[in-house]
Structure 1
């Protein structure tokens, strides 16, 4: 069990030079594989400034670079946390837009019926047709509402150079990840992409071998114990947002005898009841949710990088930690980070 390679997916935040966009990177990647690029909507959330709404859900423009067989090589999307290096007063580029809603369920429906290749004037027409209501527009903002005038979604241009941030999302990798990342990041560097001020690298590890209450208990306990030291060890970017320590209730769950004695289905429900969040140093939400499409444990503390060897080093470090957690014959978590690593 411990000798297996962990299947990993990488999210690497970069910034295009002025005059280039994340679409340019997607097309350059696809060209190297004899493939093509599919324009798509990609979901992201951001805190709301409106007092009655906690979160705004977004559909942002993504560009899916596929090879000649139609398999994903990399997905290039926006990251709404990247702001410091952008000209916030820059007008939107022609054809660039986002769709916003205060309800993620409605936005999921929107993504199924709306065409990302449509113009901003027409993109929400399928939603208006579903509700048999007119599409409203004012000041370049297009709004679809239901029959009671309750807003469903807004489509608006994408000002502030939001075409420049690029989060490269890889397909899950097992073999030759150094070579694959080297090609992707080499293509980005050749186009002039750089590391933005708030950048991070996120690594998703396949969660199959972590689906055991005692394994998760070991992992949670040691990450809580050595979380700050691990941040210092990898050099977490102090400008990176949406990070934070493991929640107290998760740490308490890790030592709960009922949790430790439970089968995985029951343990997962107990984990889910703790309401884990994505936006922390170590993301247990995907394991708790049990979603087939993203059944991963995510590490979010790594600093931004455009160097494939460094990014692979991040993954190798945490593979050793996960292998220790899975192998319950190994000793308990040491007191110091030096002994642990």
Structure 2
């Protein structure tokens, strides 16, 4: 059975390189096979801080973009700080692998704009020191620091902690057709190179949000995913060790269930969504839609476990594509949402093959739940 989907989608698949290998190695092998190229990039992340008054530290870590022989972006291979359990922090840092830290994201955007990610640890921040009219400071620990003209820290470049070269989140370019084939080209080689599924691993699917941009579509989407969110997590077997998941704020359903919201035109509806305390770190990410993010204008499904089988990933995408197709159907309404996920899937525009596949899984999960209740 080969699953196919119609929506333009991007995929984020979290993996772990085997010891002695790195995410760069995978990118390099794929480039060699395809006649493409690899470019080192800065990858932006944030992590909790133990410093009082600074809830997070902003990070830039080494990532690698794969381009095909015609220069088109295929995928990026980057770190993900949520992946921790499989990596030994006591392992010495690898030469050439470093991170840049600041306490404000805007400072790191300056770094991305003015610094060369291919530069070495001892000079990568020199352009930032020049901007502030100061000299790059070195430390015995191997760190290099930029301060402003008053001695206040701007950014620090430090050796990457042990084994942080091994986490490998594959971030694909948006795929419009041939999803399974294009994912296979990446994942088959990851399998061959000994990459594995990490303890906290997840797969994220970004659906192009263009057709979702209406108040009534968003209202139906919120109804569907709030009503069946837990059922969907059980169905796709969400990784219980995965972090940065959770529910939407109650204010979202309060807003979208109102007739006033549902009657708004899209610019007004999006403005109302943008006023809510939405976060990307939830089961279903609406933040990019609410903020009108032109670079990633997507609806993101975040509840899937990490998978190295392209067919299974596209099967999961087909399930959610069907639910989104139901939401954009002008003949459906929030009041017409079926009472069960099985009935919703029956009425959703999913192929017969995929419908049978997921209905069978729903029936199996239902039997397991019933048996547990009896015992």
- Aligned equivalents of 1:80, 1:310: Cα separation in 2: 25
Residue number in structure 2 paired with 1:217:
219
Unaligned runs of at least 5 residues, structure 1: none
Q: CA deviation at 1:200?
A: 0.3
Residue number in structure 2 paired with 1:134:
135
2:307 match: secondary structure? coil
Cα pair 2:326 2:332 within 8 Å, conserved: yes
Residue number in structure 2 paired with 1:274:
276
Aligned with 1:236 (options 232, 238, 243): 238
Q: CA deviation at 1:134?
A: 1.7
- Aligned equivalents of 1:63, 1:337: Cα separation in 2: 40
Residue number in structure 1 paired with 2:343:
339
Deviation sequence 1:11-46 (CA, Å, 0-9, x none): 000000001100000011112221110001011112
TM-score (norm 2): 0.88
- Aligned equivalents of 1:257, 1:122: Cα separation in 2: 58
Q: CA RMSD in A?
A: 1.1
Residue number in structure 2 paired with 1:61:
62
Q: CA deviation at 1:101?
A: 1.0
Q: CA deviation at 1:320?
A: 0.2
Q: CA deviation at 1:190?
A: 0.6
Unaligned runs of at least 5 residues, structure 2: 346-375
Residue number in structure 1 paired with 2:112:
111
2:117 match: secondary structure? coil
Instruction: Report the count of equivalent residues.
Output: 338
The structure that has the greater radius of gyration is 2
Aligned with 2:195 (options 171, 193, 217): 193
* Mean Cα deviation higher: 47-56 or 57-66: 47-56
1:243 match: secondary structure? coil
1:293 match: secondary structure? coil
- Aligned equivalents of 2:25, 2:159: Cα separation in 1: 19
Residue number in structure 1 paired with 2:355:
none
Deviation sequence 1:232-290 (CA, Å, 0-9, x none): 01000000000001211111111122211111111111101002100000001101111
Q: CA deviation at 1:51?
A: 2.0
Cα pair 2:249 2:277 within 8 Å, conserved: no
- Aligned equivalents of 1:207, 1:266: Cα separation in 2: 17
* Mean Cα deviation higher: 51-60 or 188-197: 51-60
Cα pair 2:202 2:302 within 8 Å, conserved: yes
Aligned with 1:168 (options 134, 156, 170): 170
Residue number in structure 2 paired with 1:25:
26
- Aligned equivalents of 1:49, 1:232: Cα separation in 2: 34
Residue number in structure 1 paired with 2:357:
none
- Aligned equivalents of 1:149, 1:277: Cα separation in 2: 34
Cα pair 2:66 2:73 within 8 Å, conserved: yes
2:295 match: secondary structure? helix
Deviation sequence 1:129-169 (CA, Å, 0-9, x none): 00111212221111112112222111111122000000001
1:140 match: secondary structure? coil
Q: CA deviation at 1:303?
A: 0.6
Q: CA deviation at 1:82?
A: 0.7
Cα pair 2:79 2:167 within 8 Å, conserved: yes
Matches within 5 A, 1:146-185: 146-185=148-187
Q: CA deviation at 1:197?
A: 0.6
2:127 match: secondary structure? helix
Cα pair 1:236 1:301 within 8 Å, conserved: yes
- Aligned equivalents of 2:270, 2:52: Cα separation in 1: 33
- Aligned equivalents of 1:145, 1:42: Cα separation in 2: 22
Deviation sequence 1:183-220 (CA, Å, 0-9, x none): 11001001000000100000000000011010000001
* Mean Cα deviation higher: 275-284 or 330-339: 330-339
- Aligned equivalents of 2:192, 2:92: Cα separation in 1: 26
* Mean Cα deviation higher: 246-255 or 329-338: 329-338
Cα pair 1:30 1:73 within 8 Å, conserved: no
